């Protein structure tokens, strides 16, 4: 059976948790493929509000095996805490499978991120301070520690000793901080290892077997395309690759397995942290979107920057991910606007771009070219079919499809499962 990739198409916070939860119904395995506990999924299921950061939202379905694949960076303290929270809501968590190849977020990653972001001053990226960047940097530098290292005390100690020598030199000599104690880290992490052990599996073999047995696999990305390390607005990005291609590298399956690539799209755009955002609205309309959409970060509580729908960004996301369909979220937030704006291109130095400008500096200076479109005044959160929506709302969805050239398969008008309206 083919696999489905589900990912964010903007700067994250597109409502992936809700969409993944909806799509997970027909799946047997749900795989998280990158990022760490910098992501935050809020899921409302059967009246329960759950905030998931590392665990795939498929955990809520008893028939689904949730999997954390190689490309995710894992803070073991956080994972165990999250498992505990989910367990306390009455959900059985023993089905979780964790790859032994995942890199660990270590205490020095958190410490180093704090001091380096402070050091950058007004040039700081505004990261989530979860140690994500430093952990991926060590992975690339080949000095990272992995989940599997936790199960060999000698190796764990040896690797930690080597890496801590360098990290402590940086912390003490460069940043004037206290050094971290190797023994204390070993003691804590080996204790956590015992608790993690039952979940650790060869996830690539598990997925291969599942696909061969005709089971449905969904690969779930965190953050969004514009935060991708290679394809996003570098350096204002996260340190992993949310794009579809990476789902395969992380899960360890081949491209022929993938049939659907679902892009999660918010009906307007938000961004947290620094970096270019051409359709940002700093006026009343942006404020209104933020209030109606409750645009505050799940992880850091930061207020999200808000703006109009950007078809250039979505066309780009459709191209780099090979999107086959769109899942449009938070359409209800746009109720009450008589007219809406959609960005169809950018103007930079008198030149018009319909695609992302080829140089980052041009993108920084991009002025949106807007078209106006009729909105709708009534609330739409009680709509249960696409046809229930007012003419303006349907027109808005159809215009997005036209501008991007990818069909919208589901429109979401609220956080609950029954507020997802399938089209066609
Ligand atoms: P990091 O992922 O913590 O390294 O942060 C890098 C950038 O990605 C910052 O601008 C963060 O605000 C942003 N970011 C990371 N995770 C998320 C997310 O789940 N939603 C939205 N933005 C995110």
For residue 44, the model assigns a pLDDT of 67
Gap between the Cα atoms of 7 and 414, Å rounded: 19
**So what's the pLDDT on residue 379?**
98
Q: What is the pLDDT of residue 40?
A: 84
How far, in Å, from the CA of 29 to the mean position of ligand 1? 26
Name the nearest CA neighbour of 331 among 393, 406, 409.
393
Pocket test for ligand 1, best of 32, 128, 222, 275 (most atoms within 8 A of CB): 128
Which atom of ligand 1 is nearest the CA belonging to 13?
20
pLDDT by residue for the chain (424 residues), tens digit each?
Answer: 689 999 999 999 999 988 888 898 889 999 999 999 998 887 765 566 778 899 998 888 899 999 999 999 999 999 999 999 899 888 899 999 999 999 999 999 999 999 998 888 888 888 999 999 999 999 999 999 999 999 999 999 999 999 999 999 999 999 999 999 999 999 999 999 999 999 999 999 999 999 999 999 999 999 999 999 999 999 999 999 999 999 999 999 999 999 999 999 999 999 998 899 999 999 999 999 999 999 988 777 889 999 999 999 999 999 999 999 999 999 999 999 999 999 999 999 999 999 999 899 999 999 999 999 999 999 999 999 999 999 999 999 999 999 999 999 999 999 888 999 999 8
Peptide bond into 357 cis (omega under 30): no
CA of 276 to the centre of ligand 1 (A): 14
Query: Could you give the C-alpha distances from 346 to 233, 253, 364, in angstroms and in order?
Result: 15, 37, 11
pLDDT value of residue 1: 62
Number of H helices, E strands in the chain: 12, 20
DSSP assigned state of 250? H
Pocket of ligand 1 (CB under 6 A): 12-13, 38-40, 125-128, 130, 132-133, 222-223, 227, 238-239, 272-273
**Assessment of whether the complete model's pTM goes beyond 0.75:** yes
């Amino acid at each position: 059976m083919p696999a489905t990739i589900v990912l964010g198409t903007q700067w994250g916070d597109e409502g992936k948790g809700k969409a993944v939860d909806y799509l997970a119904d027909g799946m047997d395995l749900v795989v998280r493929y990158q990022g760490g506990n910098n992501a935050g999924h809020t899921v409302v299921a059967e009246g329960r509000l759950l905030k998931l950061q590392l665990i795939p939202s498929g955990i809520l379905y008893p028939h689904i095996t949730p999997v954390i694949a190689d490309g995710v960076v894992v803070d073991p303290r956080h994972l165990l805490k999250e498992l505990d929270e989910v367990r306390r809501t009455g959900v059985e968590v023993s089905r979780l499978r964790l790859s032994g190849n995942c890199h660990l977020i270590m205490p020095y990653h958190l410490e180093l991120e704090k001091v380096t972001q402070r050091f950058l001053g007004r040039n700081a990226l505004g990261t989530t301070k979860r140690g994500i960047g430093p952990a991926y940097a060590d992975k690339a530098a080949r000095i990272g520690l992995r989940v599997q290292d936790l199960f060999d005390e000698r190796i764990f100690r040896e690797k930690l000793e080597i890496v801590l020598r360098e990290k402590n030199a940086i912390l003490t000599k460069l940043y004037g901080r206290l050094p971290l104690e190797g023994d204390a880290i070993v003691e804590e992490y080996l204790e956590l290892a015992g608790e993690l052990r039952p979940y650790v599996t060869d996830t690539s073999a598990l997925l291969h077997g599942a696909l061969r047995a005709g089971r449905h696999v969904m690969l779930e990305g965190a953050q969004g395309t514009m935060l991708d390390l290679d394809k996003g607005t570098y350096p204002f990005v996260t340190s992993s690759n949310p794009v579809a291609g990476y789902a395969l590298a992380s899960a360890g399956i081949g491209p022929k397995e993938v049939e659907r690539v679902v892009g999660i799209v918010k009906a307007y755009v938000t961004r947290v942290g620094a970096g270019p955002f051409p359709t940002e609205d700093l006026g009343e309309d942006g404020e209104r979107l933020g209030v109606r959409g409750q645009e505050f970060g799940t992880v850091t509580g930061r207020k999200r920057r808000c703006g109009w729908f950007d078809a250039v960004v979505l066309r780009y996301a459709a191209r780099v991910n090979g999107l086959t369909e769109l899942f449009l979220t938070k359409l209800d937030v746009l109720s009450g606007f008589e007219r809406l704006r959609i960005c169809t291109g950018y103007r930079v130095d008198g030149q018009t771009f319909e695609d992302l400008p080829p140089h980052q500096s041009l993108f920084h200076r991009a002025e949106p070219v807007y078209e106006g479109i009729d909105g709708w005044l009534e609330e739409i959160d009680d709509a249960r079919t696409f046809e229930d929506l007012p003419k303006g709302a349907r027109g808005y969805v159809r215009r997005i499809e036209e501008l991007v050239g990818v069909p919208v398969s589901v429109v979401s008008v609220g956080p609950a499962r029954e507020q997802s309206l399938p089209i066609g």
